[in-house]
Chain A
Amino acid sequence: MKVMPFYKRILFCSSILFGLLAVTACSGPTSSNTVSISAAFEFTSLDPSKNGYIFSRMQVVETLLDVNEKGLLIPALAKDWQVSEDARTWTFDLRDDVYFHDGTLMNAEAVVNSLLIAQTKHGALRNAPINSISAAGDSSVVISLSRPYTLLGAVLANYANGILSPAAYGNDEEVLALSGTGPYKVFQFAPPHKLVVEKFDDYWGKKASIPFASYLTGHRAESRVLQAKSGQADIVFGLDPASLPSLQRMDILTVSSNSIPRTIVLKLNSGHRFLNDVRARQALSLAIDRKGIAKGVLRIPGSEAEQILPASMSNWHLDNVTSETESEVGTPESLLSSLGWNKNANGMLEREGELFELTLITYADRPELTAVATAIQAQWQAIGVTTKVEITNSSAIAMGHQDGSLEVALIARNYGFIADPLGVMLSDFGSNGGGDWGAMNWNNSALSADLMTLEQTSDPVSYKEIAQRSAQILFNQRPMIPVSSYVQQTSVNNRIKGFRYDPFERSFYLNEMEFVKP
């Protein structure tokens, strides 16, 4: 063995490696022809029932109906739809000349195929009272129901029910290729982090101007902020409120704050021996300094929420409620002492030798929740309630609900998951003491009955009347305590114009965006 080749070989190896590195510099999408988007959510599958929210937001997949900013249903792949007199038959007239990304023409058969498959998977369609979904000719789809179901339109607008080309599905109904109808088609699918889409030239609607769009999962809130600041990402969703002041000072980007029908709420176990009396729940609600949290923690003054549903959902929002309304029932101290809770020497509440101790669980996916939980913990401490905060996975909430172990959970509930909040209200408060993401061990027969009625009510006036009544019950009984309405913080680089925020988080409206000409 010679000594000389020893370091020569090292040089050789390193030159090869660097050569390889240089080769990996790829062509195709570049920063100048791509709008890059960064958000927290990972995706693992092409299946719309699983990760459809990404594909619908990236505008690869579209649904029969769409939802506008006010939450009203508008035509999408169906150019028109009719509901029969008995409200049990819905007929959708499909748009003509709509092509899938694989080049085939969309027809009724394809739509029926997609919907039937979606029905077998996890999602809202599965629970809808559907008798049959069938094609009527080439361009109409008929859905017949077993009972009137006003929600159907909103359910069909859900991302899980996106329409894909028949060729997109494999034998086991799994999705092999994501051939949708949107203005963008999949260019690169690298789960769980990266999705690149390319403009689809045969789109039926407004064609995209920007050739490529990339979606990159940025798990860490701080790293997303840096991406926005450095200009690496054009649009960054889910910004940490803590970073807002420094972002607002940047002149390369604009921060856009949009209220969405998502509310930060405390889910309470109303069956818990400390919480089964409404006065205890009211006391906990009164102890929360909502304004302080909105201003100091979330950094959006005015985002405090007294009610579960936001003002934008006017049917469900009580106009006469202010931040003072609840204090009419008393102070936290008076309410709690009326329940037999008294402060001990350490200033903590005690009843019959038992301390008022609660475990609050929340999850790390949304950066605000941890901060809000910390604030609530301190505010409850002030009235003598000890709270143990546990940061876990969002699944712990559904699980805790099912096995009854949950005491308090801080969640960000999306009431616009299905465009009509009734869907969520039904699952959260409808019956059986509540739903996984709603009330827990709390039954109110009046509310259940009202919600059931709403499912079959199509007259707007009586609809509003009943909805207001329900909202009042929820406000009075506090099965869930709202903390703040959710304001989505998004930074948009100034090289992009035409950005629009969808409060229902269905679409990024990429096809409306343009690069600002330098």
Chain B
Amino acid sequence: MMKMKKSQWVGLAILLALLAFSLGGMAFSPYSISQQDLNAIMESPSAIHWLGTDHFGRSMFTRMAHAVGLSFGLSLLCMFTSSLVGTAFGVWSVWGGKKVDVAMGIVVNILLALPGLVVVLLFAAIAPGSFLVLYLAISLVQWVEYFRVVRAVTQGVIQSPARQSSRMMGFGRWYQFKRHIWPAISPSVFTLAAFGGANAILTMASLGFVYVGIQPPLAELGLMTVELFPYYSEAPWLLAQPLVVIALMVFAFHLLAGKRA
């Protein structure tokens, strides 16, 4: 439906490649993420362990595959939820009249005044290790951005001659949304979604970094970074893996976003 630029295709290709790596790794690796071999720690990449082993002798390939899958899963889930909620509320806020708009405005102002990471931290502290809570928290933080953009764009569209003319010609609300509002907001929503995906990955990695939200032996990129950091001089290739993958995923999402935020 939308024409994509070349850089957007590149972004999509990187993401798909990572997804394939993750799914392939999860499906075909003979190891599990927690299977240790304390006699074979921090091995360099070999035929048996394609990406080497970590400080517990666990297969890095398997762990990276799971970690990427986890990041993907959570970020996509957050992306869908927050874009859906944000868009719905954004449109409703404009269309629902002054009262709705004011009420939404208050909620959004409160949420905006709290740094997102802090909200996520608070939520993560409530239920350590619960992905449901992480997902809710990240979505709660992210939908506001969609709301603001969608609301601003929708306000323009609502007053546009095009929508006015459709209304005068007797078209219903769904039609007005489908023909006027959605085409106007969809590029922004798409861009925001791509940035949102990147942010979800960064947020999760940050939580891992402050030891909140994710419990071992789960493979998560931020937590792996912290765990492997002490070995940066002994086994730099290990530390590089989660870092490169985080950067790659975020970068790919940014590319996919096309426009800049």
Q: Residues on A close to B: CB < 8 A?
A: 221-222, 225, 240, 242-243, 245-246, 289, 292-293, 295-297, 364, 370-371, 373-375, 377-379, 381, 388-392
Contacts and interface: CB of A to CB of B under 8 A. Distances in A.
Contacts of B41: 296
26 contacts: A222-B229, A222-B230, A243-B230, A246-B231, A289-B38, A292-B39, A293-B38, A296-B38, A296-B39, A296-B56, A364-B211, A371-B55, A374-B216, A375-B36, A375-B38, A377-B34, A378-B34, A378-B35, A378-B217, A381-B35, A388-B215, A389-B217, A390-B128, A391-B128, A391-B211, A391-B215
Interface string B133-174: 000000000000000000000000000000000000000000
B226 A373 contact: no
B57 interface: yes
For the complex of A and B, 6 pairs with smallest distance between CB atoms = A242-B230, A296-B38, A378-B36, A292-B38, A243-B230, A374-B216
Highest count of chain B CB atoms <10 Å: which of A292, A379, A388? A292
A5 B129 CA distance: 54
A296 B211 CA distance: 22
Contacts of B217: 374, 377-378, 389
Highest count of chain A CB atoms <10 Å: which of B39, B129, B229? B229
B128 A246 contact: no
B32 to A, nearest CB: 9
B216 A245 contact: no
B230 A240 contact: yes
Given A225-B230, A297-B56, 7 more contacts: A245-B234, A246-B230, A296-B39, A296-B56, A370-B216, A374-B216, A378-B35
Give the secondary structure class of B's interface: loop
A51 to B, nearest CB: 23
A316 to B, nearest CB: 29
Contacts of B226: 222
Contacts of A222: 226, 229-230
Give the secondary structure class of A's interface: helix
B233 interface: yes
Interface string B1-42: 000000000000000000000000000000000111011010
Interface residues of B, number: 21
A479 B230 CA distance: 34
Highest count of chain A CB atoms <10 Å: which of B35, B36, B56, B233? B36
B230 A381 contact: no
A392 B211 CA distance: 10
Contacts of A295: 38
B22 to A, nearest CB: 22
B216 A373 contact: yes
A246 B239 CA distance: 15
Nearest to A364: B211
A392 to B, nearest CB: 6
Nearest to A291: B38
A246 B234 CA distance: 7
B215 A389 contact: yes
Highest count of chain B CB atoms <10 Å: which of A295, A377, A378, A391? A378
Contacts of B231: 242, 246
Interface string B221-233: 0000010011101
Contacts of B57: 296
B230 A374 contact: no
Interface in B118-140: 128-129
B229 A297 contact: no
B130 to A, nearest CB: 11
A373 B129 CA distance: 16
Contacts of B216: 370, 373-374, 377, 389, 391
A92 to B, nearest CB: 45
Interface in B233-259: 233-234
B243 to A, nearest CB: 14
B232 to A, nearest CB: 8
A246 B35 CA distance: 26
A289 B55 CA distance: 16
Nearest to B233: A246
Contacts of B128: 390-392
A400 to B, nearest CB: 14
Contacts of A375: 36, 38, 56
A373 B211 CA distance: 15
Contacts of B230: 221-222, 225, 240, 242-243, 246
Interface in B204-225: 211, 215-217
Nearest to A293: B38
A366 to B, nearest CB: 12
Contacts of B39: 292, 296
A225 B226 CA distance: 13
A127 B35 CA distance: 47
Nearest to B228: A242
A293 B129 CA distance: 25
Contacts of B34: 374, 377-378, 381
A370 B233 CA distance: 22
A390 B129 CA distance: 8
Contacts of A379: 36
A295 B57 CA distance: 13
Given A296-B39, A375-B38, A377-B217, A242 B233 contact: no
A378 B41 CA distance: 14
A292 B38 CA distance: 6
A276 to B, nearest CB: 27
Contact of B215 (A221, A246, A390): A390
Contacts of B234: 245-246
Contacts of A370: 216
Nearest to A373: B216
A281 B143 CA distance: 49
A243 B232 CA distance: 9
A379 B34 CA distance: 10
Contacts of A289: 38
A100 to B, nearest CB: 41
Contacts of B56: 296-297, 371, 374-375, 378
Nearest to A392: B128
Highest count of chain B CB atoms <10 Å: which of A371, A373, A391? A391
